[in-house]
Amino acid sequence: MAETLPRKFGKCLVVKHLGKGATAVVLLARHAGLSIPVAVKVLRRALSESNPKYAARFLREARMAARLDHPNIVRVIDCGVQDDYHFMVMDYVDGPNCLQKLQEQDNGLDWREATEIIMQASQGLGYAASKDVIHRDVKPSNIMIDSTGRVRVTDLGLAKMTIKGVVELTQEFHTVGTPSYMSPEQIRSASNLDLRSDVYSLGATFYHLVCGHAPFAGDGPMEVVAKHLTDTLVPPRQCKRSLPEELSSIICKMMAKSPGDRYQDYETLRQDLQNLLDGREVSASGFYEAVEVSGPDEEELRGILAELTLQGDLEPEDSPAVRAAAGAAKEDDDGTDTAALDPFGPEDYASFNSPDGEEAETAEMPTPRSGRGEPSVALVVTLAVLGALVLLAAVLFFVLSSS
């Protein structure tokens, strides 16, 4: 049975569903006090009830993310508990994420557009690093672009506040991340991570944007993880000859297996990206990592995978709590694509035009776009036309019978 969510979360009046997954539901809402659209991320009750640490971590990291205020970061505005549901309120981004853009362009984005995206994302990540925050799950779906073209890095709630810029992992929580973009040291569940791990993930994202596919592929997460640890990266220019050699060198340097061979700070990376766009020489020129690295055997790989939290969940995918929440997500599936959020289109702005204190009519419950929810406009129109035809036929029959 589908979860019945509250109509309000703090000062936020729910308008509709945007997306959902095993751990959380994301809603579009109107902030009553600010009169702006916001995104509300709601932790599934199955998680918070099965293990209070989920809820505690969720709120703790929301408060941490709220300390970050930068044009290239999706802000966390508020967080709290509503009817036993833990939630955080975030900026709403009225545009697609990079994964959605890739789905529209199979062969990748124009390299100049991709470079601009990565440059802006690096500004947001650089600011976070200056505040001792490492993202740990940089990937295309966590980089959004609003209607003005501004890039916004999201899901910093998965990050962890650090001491002197180094992530210190404990046994309480596992490494978060997505296999296709994780750095080798993060895959190995290193006891500390710094900004260079995010640089690697941003490089893997850059590779995906310009080539149209992730840097390493495999039949399963174990094979992908193994390639990140051991395989030599195929330079982007070998995948796509139209790419500049300097761009290929920048990505190879970002994705060097040894953190010491990567960019050591975001300022140097941004300077190279700007030089690339301006047609000037880059500091990474000619960089190519040609030597394969000896990696773990299959048993060690399985051990590494057992410690990973895949797809950015709060626990391993096979944990009882996540399985229960995933079951709940499947039960209330309405056909909505949970991998990406809907853009906030012009038709939705009408929901926010109500006078102060007046509730939006569409905010009774989070409504799905289609499926087993309310009938679609096309269906309503069709039924109306059929009804009119039946009525006309009845009138004609009555007139003919009378004559």
CA 15 to centroid of chain Cα atoms: 21
Q: How far is CA 353 from CA 30, 50, 118, 204, 331, in A?
A: 10, 40, 35, 42, 34
Q: How far is CA 7 from CA 4, 23, 85, 122, 359, in A?
A: 9, 19, 12, 37, 11
Closest CA to 92 of 16, 8, 161: 16
> How far apart, in whole angstroms, are the C-alpha atoms of residue 399 and residue 402?
5
In terms of C-beta density within 10 A (0-12 exposed, 13-18 middle, 19 or more buried), how is residue 8 classed? middle
- Strands 175-176, 308-309: pairing kind: parallel
Residue 286's region, left for phi above 0, alpha for psi from -120 to 50, else beta, is left
CA 249 to centroid of chain Cα atoms: 27
Instruction: Please identify which of the residues 78, 91, 94, 137 carries the catalytic annotation.
Output: 137
Contact 127, 68 (CB under 8 A): yes
> Is residue 137 annotated as a catalytic residue, yes or no?
yes
Buried b (16+ CB within 10 A) or exposed e, 81-102: ebeebbbbbbbbbbbbbbbbbb
DSSP per-residue letters across 291-356: -------HHHHHHHHHHEEGGG-SS-TTSHHHHHHHHHHHHT--S--TTSPPP--HHHHGGG-SPT
Q: How far is CA 41 from CA 9, 146, 240, in A?
A: 10, 19, 38
Closest CA to 256 of 311, 201, 317, 320: 201
Which residues are marked as active site? Answer: 137
